[in-house]
Amino acid sequence: MRKSHSAHRLLPPVFSRVGAACLVVFIAVPVLYLIALALSPNSTVALGGTDFQHWTTSNFTSMWSAAAVAQGLLNSVIIAGTSAALAVVLGVCAAYPLARLRFRARKPLLYSLLGSQSLPQLSLLLPLYIMLAGLQGILGVHLIGSYPAIIAVYMTFGLPLATVVCFTYLRSMPTDLEEAALTDGCTRFGALRRVVAPLMAPAMVVSLVLAFLVGWNDVLFASALQNQTIAVTLEQFGVAQGEGFGAQPLYGDLMAAALVSAVPVVVLYLAFQRHLVHGLAAGALSGT
């Protein structure tokens, strides 16, 4: 019993323990540094330090007026949330026929979805920008800087992601239940809605979280398309502090706001960790 237990040990015990401890320190120090800076007054952070004796939560109240943090967070929630929800709905719908039916466009579609994930973002940003600018001229409405435009743009990445994750999940799901529903006279749409969709819940959660993070973490598209998401707001706030020429930079506020925008993401990730890790690995390995 003891033998089979230790059979999975792949490193000498001491090395494993000491190494893991070092690695935890390596991970923890920057994170603690971030927290310490967020808890220090701006004047202390500007001088390059943190003072354990004068920790204060004042940054967390002053940051809202130092930069448009609240608006940035709201914009990010709306943009990332909507594009993720749309991506998941369309992704589930597309994944089902791709996984269960045979049709001529199946393979080309599947391969383009997979291939698009390794496209450099800028190769899509430039033409999307040109398209939006062109449409803007034709329609006479503002698209660059609007919610619909950036939501659609984030779907460029969210949609293939959601489709691939749901596709991989469906392929590993037995077909017995659907077949039973179909023999019992259910239409295919009925089977999809009543039988498949509930079983797909974990895959949908994974794609929802991953597609949400695409929008939440992005800086490139939001700054090119002039959307004040939280990422762009903080990036510009940071630049402004650096160029403050003599004025005391509000780095304490900046770090507090950065912490506030990171915590929901980390919590989300760790809460769904098991599913997410599985989904990530599946996404990466789903070369078909």
Nearer to another protein, 65 or 288 (CB): 288
Helix then strand count (H, E) for the chain reads 16, 0
74, 144, 152, 195: which one binds another protein (CB under 8 A): 152
d(CA 21, CA 3): 25
Return left, alpha or beta for 48; rule: phi > 0 is left, psi -120 to 50 is alpha, else beta. Answer: left
Helical H segments across 101-226, by residue range: 106-116, 121-139, 147-171, 176-183, 188-191, 197-199, 201-217, 220-224
54, 122, 193, 247: which one binds another protein (CB under 8 A): 122
Q: Is the distance from CB of 223 to CB of 232 less than 8 angstroms?
A: yes
Length in residues, the chain: 288
d(CA 163, CA 115): 13
Applying CB under 8 A, the span of 51-59, 123-131, 136-144, 200-208 interacting with another protein comes to 123-131
d(CA 62, CA 254): 10
Q: Is the distance from CB of 63 to CB of 253 less than 8 angstroms?
A: yes
245 binds another protein (CB under 8 A): no
CB of 288 to another protein, least distance (A): 7
d(CA 263, CA 64): 16
97, 136, 199, 275: which one binds another protein (CB under 8 A): 97
115, 142, 197, 247: which one binds another protein (CB under 8 A): 115
269 binds another protein (CB under 8 A): yes
Residues 61 to 80 in contact with another protein, rule: CB under 8 A: none
CB of 8 to another protein, least distance (A): 4
27 binds another protein (CB under 8 A): yes
Dihedral sign computed on CA atoms, order 51, 52, 56, 57: positive
58, 60, 129, 135: which one binds another protein (CB under 8 A): 129
What does residue 25 show for φ and ψ, rounded to 5 degrees? Answer: -65, -45
Applying CB under 8 A, the span of 60-68, 135-143, 149-157, 199-207 interacting with another protein comes to 149-157
Number of residues that bind another protein (CB under 8 A): 108
Residues 180 to 239 in contact with another protein, rule: CB under 8 A: 182, 188-189, 192, 213, 216-220, 223-224, 231, 234-235, 238-239
CB of 126 to another protein, least distance (A): 6
14 binds another protein (CB under 8 A): no
d(CA 43, CA 52): 14
Applying CB under 8 A, the span of 67-75, 103-111, 137-145, 199-207 interacting with another protein comes to 103-111
Nearer to another protein, 48 or 185 (CB): 48
180, 197, 201, 284: which one binds another protein (CB under 8 A): 284
Residues 159 to 188 in contact with another protein, rule: CB under 8 A: 159-160, 163, 175, 178-179, 182, 188
Q: Report which DSSP code applies to 193.
A: I
